[in-house]
């Protein structure tokens, strides 16, 4: 179901196959169904031995197979144990690869656009563009933006990966999938609406939400405090540096010209 929704959403929002709404929706649903079927076949092929093992252990007493546990803000429920838990983690291990790709797609669609936005305005002025609606960005400029985000990930991204993956709350394949899928859905909708949001902030909020679902004490308060402070600080600091750089560039150009 998650693969169906993700592929359908991307096909309809990002790669519409037709300009006619009913036809585009039908084609997106068909693409989602094909993607879900293929992923289902792959997962069943990889985890077939566990499925056989689980079916053979269904005759065990319920008290050995079911364990009631408290997950904080949600009500108690019978969680999987043993082979069932291994199957769940195995399935979502594959699913999280897809959700990470979904999040990366949404991240690039929004955050690269944030970086290219000022450059797009400058190029529009240089080419005599009349309004923002007429801005057309060359593909090579977008490629440079994508290269920059990949280079930053390779050089310094491991720090953010460590913070989100380990320092906020304890993540499992199911929790990681839930956080990535939720964040990617929000970012993709924002990109479709033309809203320049932060994909990283959205993902941090989703990871915090996964932690809060298990209880308020499941989220590390000191890490959240540092992240929130950084969110508050970066906006005015970025504005101050922009004012400073603009003043420097204005002075230099006045002397040169």
Sign of the CA dihedral with 7 first, then 170, 111, and 201 last: positive
**φ, ψ for residue 136 (rounded to 5)?**
-125, 120
Residues 6+ apart with CB under 8 A from 41: none
Please report which confidence band the pLDDT of residue 66 belongs to, taking 50, 70 and 90 as the band edges: very low
Cite the DSSP H helix spans in 109-257. Answer: 113-126, 139-162, 173-193, 199-213, 221-256
Predicted local confidence at residue 70, as pLDDT: 47
For the cut 80, the answer to whether the pLDDT of residue 185 exceeds it is yes
For the cut 70, the answer to whether the pLDDT of residue 79 exceeds it is no
pLDDT higher at 79 or 249: 249
Predicted local confidence at residue 168, as pLDDT: 92
Predicted local confidence at residue 107, as pLDDT: 86
Distance between CA atoms of 74 and 85, rounded to whole angstroms? 19
SS3 call for 229 = helix
pTM above 0.75, yes or no: no
Question: Can you read off the two tokens belonging to residue 224?
Answer: 């959240």
Predicted local confidence at residue 211, as pLDDT: 92
């Amino acid at each position: 179901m998650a693969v169906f929704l993700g592929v359908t959403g991307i096909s309809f929002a990002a790669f519409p196959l037709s300009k006619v709404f009913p036809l585009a929706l039908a084609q997106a649903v068909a693409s989602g169904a094909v993607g879900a079927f293929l992923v289902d076949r792959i997962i069943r092929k990889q985890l077939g031995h566990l499925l056989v093992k689980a079916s053979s252990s269904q005759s065990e007493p319920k008290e050995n197979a079911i364990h009631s546990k408290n997950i904080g803000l949600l009500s108690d429920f019978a969680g999987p144990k043993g082979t069932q838990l291994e199957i769940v983690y195995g399935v979502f291990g594959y699913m999280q690869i897809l959700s990470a790709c979904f999040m990366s797609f949404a991240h690039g669609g929004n955050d690269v656009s944030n970086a290219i936005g000022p450059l797009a305005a400058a190029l529009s002025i240089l080419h005599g563009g009349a309004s923002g609606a007429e801005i057309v960005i060359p593909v090579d400029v977008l490629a440079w933006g994508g290269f920059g985000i990949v280079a930053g990930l390779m050089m310094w991204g491991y720090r953010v990966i460590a913070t989100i993956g380990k320092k906020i709350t304890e993540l499992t394949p199911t929790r990681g999938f839930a956080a990535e899928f939720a964040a990617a859905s929000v970012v993709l909708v924002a990109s479709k609406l033309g809203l320049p949001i932060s994909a990283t902030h959205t993902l941090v909020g989703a990871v915090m939400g996964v932690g809060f679902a298990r209880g308020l004490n499941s989220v590390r308060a000191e890490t959240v405090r540092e992240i929130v402070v950084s969110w508050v600080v970066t906006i005015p600091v970025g504005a101050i540096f922009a004012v400073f750089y603009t003043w420097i560039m204005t002075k230099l150009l006045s002397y040169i010209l």
